[in-house]
Structure 1
Amino acid sequence: MTRILGRISAVSAGLALAGAAALVAAPSAMAAPSTLHNFNSNQCLGILNGSSSWGAHAIQWGCNGNDDQKWSFQGAGDIYITLTNSNDGECLGIDGGSTAQGARAIQWGCNGNDDQKWHMVYNGPQTGTYRFVNKKSGQCLGILNGSNGQGAEAIQWGCNGRNDQSWYL
């Protein structure tokens, strides 16, 4: 009986440690930049006109392989990452650091502010998609009005499980 309890304890401890590691582990950095495809429109997250200006709007556009549609994922501490644009090295954040629903996603010089930190949450195996939850506002990265239109703006909105808030790599 003691032997069985010892084995159960050892297995339980191992499972608890494995589970804790899965909960704590956040992507520290992806090996190569990746495109973010919107699950609703199948278009890619990019920067309006491929601009390298601070404050340029993030939009969805037909995937074309341009650098403004490529993003590097960098660990930002805890469970958060920053999304750095390959075109100019600027970070995806929220205009003015706003917490308002519908505030635009923009690129800005990486500054470590919470509006540039995102929690990448796996939606599950059915879609294989992720949602990006902004640290400052607690809202999800999505597309204005759930649009399928080319050039539609990326915004933050209360997380609602809609397809425009789901992204695949």
Structure 2
Amino acid sequence: MSDNQLWAIHENADGTVKLINPKSSKALDVSGGGSSDGTNVQIYTDNGTNAQKWHLQPVGDGKYKLINPRSSKALDVTGGETSDETNVQIWSDNGTPAQQWRLVRYDNKNNGKQNSFFYGMDTKEQEIFTLINNYRQQNGLPLLQPSVNLAYVAHTHAIDIIENNPDVNGGNMHSWSNKGKWKSVKYTPDHAQAQLMWSKPSEISNYKFNGFEISLSYAKNIRQTMSVNPTEAVNTWKNSPGHNNVILQLGTFQHTLMKVMGVGIYKGYACVWFGQQLDIYPAPA
């Protein structure tokens, strides 16, 4: 892949993103700050204006649309063409494939390997991800974006639960053992060590923010040999007020705007981690 086709995604303070081409260090920009259909899109020196800001909005199936906040118009392939050198512009949001984009993570630490934006989540985990997003959408909430770092945290915790059984002696499934490169957590009903759990993403991944977890497990005596069913797992969370509040941002989470999530499944345990900031960071080494 040519450097001409690479973009670094940076989150702005207002929740929008800017796309910077690493070869030129310039931003994806609406020419002249225009707002009419057909206005050209170009690269231009990063200047922080609305012409260089985009709302990154999931549309399902791992695809996204980019909406410019100044014009409320979408990044669009002119005429829906597919040939090389077709121009890119802004156009009224119409939901067509010409305005849908798939983000592909490019890992130059691994011989230029390209990974889908679901990198870090297998088929079952992606199913849970999709079911949760569908449920949020049915309740008027925005779709969440996948997070490679939160998926890593979820996988790590799932393995720790199954292999090391930290959820004993009064600790529940949000507990972490003392057998890894992290601070152990005995998570009790009084939430005394909640901060140690919330901080796990910043502790073990490149996502340096708090995360919020929901989890599910079969009984300790059988979970080593069981396999999680994604539909049953999500239905269980939907029917549990505490877990449902996290998914739908209700109760104590009503002012906690979630933007990303990562899913981890290992044998008879599953967990989902949610975050309030976009994950624009590399996967853990």
Please state which band the TM-score falls in when normalised by the shorter chain. Answer: 0.5 to 0.7
The total of aligned residue pairs comes to 103
Partner residue in 2 for 1:74: 10
Whether 1:155 and 2:89 are equivalent positions in the alignment is yes
Correspondence for 1:142 among 76, 88, 93: 76
Bigger CA radius of gyration = 2
Deviation at 1:87, TM superposition (A): 1.2
Distance in 1 (CA, whole Å) between partners of 2:31 and 2:14 is 23
Distance in 1 (CA, whole Å) between partners of 2:63 and 2:94 is 14
RMSD of the alignment, in Å?
0.7
Distance in 2 (CA, whole Å) between partners of 1:116 and 1:77 is 13
TM-score using structure 2 length? 0.36
Unpaired stretches in structure 1, ≥5 consecutive residues:
1-64
**Structure 1: 4+ residue segments shifted above 2 A:** none
Report the secondary structure of 2:83's partner residue: coil
Higher-RCO chain (CA-CA 8 Å, sequence separation at least 6)? 1
Correspondence for 2:19 among 83, 86, 96: 83
Residue deviations 1:3-41 (CA, integer Å, cap 9, x gap): xxxxxxxxxxxxxxxxxxxxxxxxxxxxxxxxxxxxxxx
Residue deviations 1:94-147 (CA, integer Å, cap 9, x gap): 1111011110100000000001000000002xx210000001111000101111
Whether 1:96 and 2:32 are equivalent positions in the alignment is yes
Residue deviations 1:52-98 (CA, integer Å, cap 9, x gap): xxxxxxxxxxxxx1111000000112220000001111000111110
* % identical aligned pairs: 28
Distance in 2 (CA, whole Å) between partners of 1:158 and 1:86 is 28
* Counterpart amino acid of residue 78 in structure 1: D
Distance in 1 (CA, whole Å) between partners of 2:85 and 2:13 is 32
